[in-house]
Structure 1
């Protein structure tokens, strides 16, 4: 009889070279949240969890750890990403470091992403 496998605790890593935080499960990348820094603000614009990892609450774990890292760094949050914006509505403890999404920020982000 085989023993049941217990998934390992997810780990979060900030990957500055790729402007993202990655979440790994059992050594495999399960997803990421992408950002660009603008002065003292970290602008989150996309969060993605792989289909094989959907429904496990990984996006919430990932975003919470990323936002905690932003707070520790003394930065502010700009939630362009719909998932990050939704998370922030449910977690008011980040309201003190959250800035609104403005047309200026969106234009700047488009330039950064060359869209």
Structure 2
């Protein structure tokens, strides 16, 4: 039996919005974001324990950042996975913005959390 190729899809009808990576019909992980003021603020990425070490986080984040560029948005990497990715892959340097208190507040506000 062969392992299905991973697919990445954008999920905009959920809170938080996110990109999901699936193997077949099984979700293996996600990277969550908030869109604010022309920026896509990535704040959380997770890959299920059963899928660790398969390079899925890199495939997921690469696809998510490519879609972000195509949407005309800039990237703010609050999430440590996304931050590590952009530090290694410089394809997105031209649309990369620093993490600011404003970006962090936008995430908290979108998730309904008080700071």
TM-score, normalised via structure 1 length: 0.93
Any unmatched runs of 5+ in structure 2?
A: none
- C-alpha deviation, 1:114, in angstroms: 2.1
Aligned runs of 1:25-64 on 2, under 5 Å?
A: 25-64=23-62
Any unmatched runs of 5+ in structure 1?
A: none
Contact 2:42 2:75 in 1 (8 A): yes
Counterpart CA distance in 2 for 1:27 and 1:108 is 32
What SS class does the counterpart of residue 99 from structure 1 fall into?
Answer: coil
Kindly report structure 1 stretches of 4+ aligned residues shifted beyond 6 Å.
Answer: none
Counterpart CA distance in 2 for 1:81 and 1:99 is 13
RMSD: 0.8
Q: Which has the larger radius of gyration?
A: 1
Aligned residues: 111
TM-score, normalised via structure 2 length: 0.93
Counterpart CA distance in 2 for 1:53 and 1:12 is 15
Which structure is richer in relative contact order (CA contacts within 8 A, separation 6 or more)? 2
